[in-house]
Structure 1
Amino acid sequence: MDSLPFALVMISIFTHAYWNYLIKRSGNKHIFTALSKLAEITIFLIPAIYFLATTGFRMEFLLLITVAASITFLNYFFLASAYKYGDLSLVYPISRSSIIFLPIIAFYFIDERIDGIGISAILMILLGTFVMHMESPDKQGIQTILKNIGNKGSIYAMLAALAVAGYTLWDKISISKMEPFLYFYMYTFIVAICYNSMISIKFKKEQIKHEWRINRARILQVGFFNSFTYVLILTALTMSKATYVGGLRQLSIVIGAFLGYKLLGEKLTLPKIIGIVISIIGGSLIYWAK
């Protein structure tokens, strides 16, 4: 993997982990997430108008952004649901495990192939994620994994990971046909409208106002860092394979686990530490993969 896309993804893992931490700290996860999408399309409205005016819009783009919006909406819905039931340090690693699905669908849909180092890196990342779910580094710890994966938080997080794999591949296809930022902004706009329509029906106005009142600053931060993070990823996707970009993004679990431990008082057990180390080694190997 070339140095520039590697560096862009490395920057993104910090900002991505940070805005996930902010969602975990929110009151109502669905309201908070929906409002952050409104903040996002407001903050980046002027750049979007500029790119629309300079690059133009063709009807064929409608399919690209509609599919992207649908998959992204599912990701946010599953992610917010996962944080409702599970700890950041447990949910975040699973939700970032798109690498479980990405190599297969990338090979099937765009004939993307990875070398031996890449395969080794992905296997280590998957192993690291597996180990992080163990309560203890022994047989009993392995048995508890089935229990952890069976809870609602983990199930929703796995669905979020599948959605991430889906939109990562779709993004790789779409940005070869339209301007990356405009593509991202337009499907984000659709997601924002859909998500806020949902919460306006499901929740009372006072609940929505309350969430904005107590978490305004965090909502605005998530709105900014979400777009900033994914523009970095889209740029990296124009230069590298989707599987490697998706795999390297897994390193954000290290930051997520640390934030959960340091700021939310979540446990940082020995298996989690071992799993983090294995994941870091696996992510580092991607740099040498072709």
Structure 2
Amino acid sequence: MDKLPFILVLISIFTHAYWNYLIKSSENKHIFTALSKIAETAIFAIPAIYFFTVSDFKVSFLWLIHVAALITFFNYFFLSSAYKYGDLSLVYPVSRSSIIFLPVLAYFFIGETVDTVGIVAIVLIILGTFIMHLDSFDKKGVRSILSNIGNKGSVYALLAALAVAGYTLWDKVSVTKMEPFLYFYLYTLVIAVFYNLFASFKFSKLEVKSEWQKNRSKIIQVGFFNSFTYILVLTALTMSKATYVGGLRQLSIVVGAFLGYKLLNENLSKPKIAGILISIIGGSLIYIAK
């Protein structure tokens, strides 16, 4: 993997983990996420208008935007639901494990292949994610993994990871056809509309107002860092393989687990620490993969 996309993804790792921590620390996850999408479209409206005027936008691009919005909406929905039932230090690693799905999907849909080093890196990342689910390294801990994987938090997180794999591939194709920032902004705008329609039907105005009053600053921060983070990723996707970009993003689990432990008082067990270290080794190998 080339140096520049590697650095861009490394930066995105920290900002992505941070805005996930902010969502987890909110009171009503779905309302918080819906309001953050409004903030996001407002913050980046002026740059979007600029890119719209200078780029060659075609009506045919709308289908790229709407499909991306649909896949990403499911990711936000599954992620918010996962945080409702599970700890940040568990949900975040699983939701970032799109690498479980990416190599196969990338091969069949865009003909992307990875070398031997890449395969080893992917296996280590998957193994690390699996180990994180263990309560302990004894027999009781191994047996408990089935119940851990089967809980609602982990199931929703795994569905979020599948959605991440889906939109990563879709984005890889889409940014070769239209300007990356405008592409991301327009499908974010579509998501903002639909997510807030969903929130308005499911929750009362009083609940929405309460979430805004309690977490206004955090909502605005998520609005900024979400776009900032993924613009870095989209730029990296124009320079590198989707599988490697997605795999390297898995290293954000280290930051996510640390934030959950340090700021939310979540448990950081020996299996989680071991899983994190194995995932770091796997992610590091991606730098030398071809």
Q: Same fold (TM over 0.5)?
A: yes
> In structure 2, what is the Cα distance between the partners aligned to 1:3 and 1:138?
41
SS at 2:59's partner residue? coil
Tell me, in whole angstroms, the C-alpha distance in 1 between the residues paired with 2:148 and 2:124: 21
Report the counterpart of residue 217 of structure 1 in structure 2. 217
The CA deviation string for residues 4-59 of structure 1, in whole angstroms up to 9 with x for no partner, is 00000000000000000000000000000000000000000000000000003201
Unmatched 5+ stretches in structure 1: none
Tell me, yes or no, if structure 1 residue 236 matches structure 2 residue 236.
yes
| Distance of 1:260 and 1:204 partners within structure 2 | 30
Q: Aligned partners of 2:178 and 2:56: how far apart in 1?
A: 9
Q: How does 1:68-79 map to 2 (within 5 A)?
A: 68-79=68-79
Please tell me the root mean square deviation across aligned C-alpha atoms, in Å. 0.5
Q: What secondary structure, in the 3-state scheme, does the structure 2 residue paired with 1:216 have?
A: helix
* Equivalent residue pairs, number: 290
**1:129 maps to 2:129:** yes
Cα distance in 2 between the residues matched to 1:145 and 1:159: 18
Distance in 2, matches of 1:89 and 1:29, equals 16
For structure 2, the 5+ residue unaligned runs are: none
Q: Could you tell me which residue of structure 2 aligns to residue 160 of structure 1?
A: 160
Alignment correspondent of 1:264: 264
Deviation, structure 1 residue 140:
2.2
SS in 2 for 1:250: helix
> How far off its partner does 1:111 sit?
0.3
Q: Does 1:176 align with 2:190?
A: no
- Give 1:18's aligned residue: 18
Equivalent residue letter for 1:221: Q
Which residue in 2 is equivalent to 1:118?
118
How far has the Cα of 1:138 moved from its partner?
2.5
Q: In structure 2, what is the equivalent of residue 249 of structure 1? A: 249
CA drift at 1:139: 2.7
Q: Which residue of 1 aligns with 2:5?
A: 5
Distance 2:142 2:236 in 1: 36
Distance in 1 separating the partners of 2:6 and 2:134: 30
Task: Find the residue that maps to 2:178 and give its secondary structure.
Answer: coil
The SS at the match of 1:60 is helix
Distance in 2 of aligned mates of 1:267 and 1:204: 34
1:146 is displaced (CA, Å) by 0.8
Matching residue's letter, 1:251: L
Once the two structures are aligned, what percentage of the paired residues are identical?
72
AA matched with 1:285? L
Amino acid at match of 1:130: F
d(CA) in 1 for partners of 2:140, 2:222: 38
Q: Tell me what 1:93 maps to.
A: 93
d(CA) in 1 for partners of 2:138 and 2:178? 50
Query: What residue is the counterpart of 1:150 in the other structure?
Result: 150
Q: Does 1:281 align with 2:281?
A: yes
Structure 1 runs of 4+ aligned residues shifted over 2 Å read none
User: How many Å apart are 1:159 and its aligned residue?
Assistant: 0.5
Partner amino acid for 1:265?
N
Residue 65 of structure 2 aligns to which amino acid in structure 1?
I
TM-score (norm 2): 0.99
Residue 32 of structure 2 corresponds to 32
